[in-house]
Amino acid sequence: MNKLSQTHPGTTGKNHVAIVPSATTQYLSQDVPYTFRQNTDFLYLTGFHNPDAILLLVSDSAKGLPDHKAVLFVQPQDSQWELWNGPRCRADDAVLIFGMDEAYSIDELPSYFRKSCDNSCSVWFDQSLQTNHLDFYELINEKLLLSNERSIKNLFSLRHHVHDVRVIKTSDEIELMTKSASIASEAFIETIRHGRSDMSELEIGAKFEYECKRRGAERVAYPPVVAAGNRANILHYLTKTGIVCDGELVLMDAGCEFHGYASDITRTWPINGAFSKLQREIYEAVLMTRDACIQLVKPGASLNAIHHSAEMIIGRALQDLGVIKKEFGDVRLRNEVSRFFPHHVGHYLGMDTHDTPQVSRNATLQPGMVVTIEPGLYFSNKLANMPDRYKGIGIRIEDDVLVTESGHKVLTERVPSDPTRLEEMLSSRPTS
Ligand SMILES: [Mn+2]
**Both 193 and 254 in a single domain?**
yes
Please report whether residue 432 resides in a domain. Answer: no
Residue 149 CB coordination number (10 Å):
5
- 383 CA distance to ligand 1 centroid (A)? 24
- The CATH number linked to 154 is 3.40.350.10
| Residues 409 and 402: beta-carbon distance below 8 Å | yes
Surrounding residues of ion ligand 1, Cβ less than 5 A: 264, 372
396 CA distance to ligand 1 middle (Å)? 10
Helix or strand holding residue 303 (H, E): helix 303-320
| DSSP state for residue 233 in the 8-state scheme | G
Q: Rounded CA gap, 65 and 50, in Å? A: 33
Burial 306-323 (b: 16+ CB within 10 A, else e): bbebbbbbbbbbbbebeb
Say how many Å lie between the CA of residue 344 and the centre of ligand 1: 9
- Which of 115, 137, 165 is where one domain is finished? 165
For 94-141, the pLDDT digits (tens) are 999 999 999 999 999 999 998 888 878 889 998 776 566 778 888 888
CA of 399 to the centre of ligand 1 (A): 8
Q: How far does residue 402's CA lie from ligand 1's centre (Å)? A: 14
Question: Is residue 133 located within the same domain as residue 204?
Answer: no
3-class secondary structure, 64 = coil
Asked whether residue 422 is domain-assigned, the answer is yes
The closest of 19, 18, 20, 16 to 60, measured between CA atoms, is 16
pLDDT tens column, 231-267: 999 999 999 999 999 999 999 999 999 999 999 999 9
pLDDT score recorded for residue 5 = 47
Same domain as 371, residue 279: yes
Say whether both 171 and 232 belong to one domain.
yes
261 lies in the same domain as 123: no
Residue 350 pLDDT > 90: yes
Q: How many domains does the chain have?
A: 2
- With respect to residue 121, please indicate whether it lies within any of the assigned structural domains: yes
Ligand 1 centroid to Cα of residue 136, in Å, is 31
Q: Are residues 111 and 212 in the same domain?
A: no
367 and 258 share one domain: yes
Of 100, 3, 49, 97, nearest to 260 by C-alpha is 49
Residues 72 and 196 grouped into a single domain: no
pTM of the model: 0.93
> Which residue, 129, 146, 165, sits at the end of a domain?
165
384/417 same-domain check: yes
Range of the domain at 153: 15-165
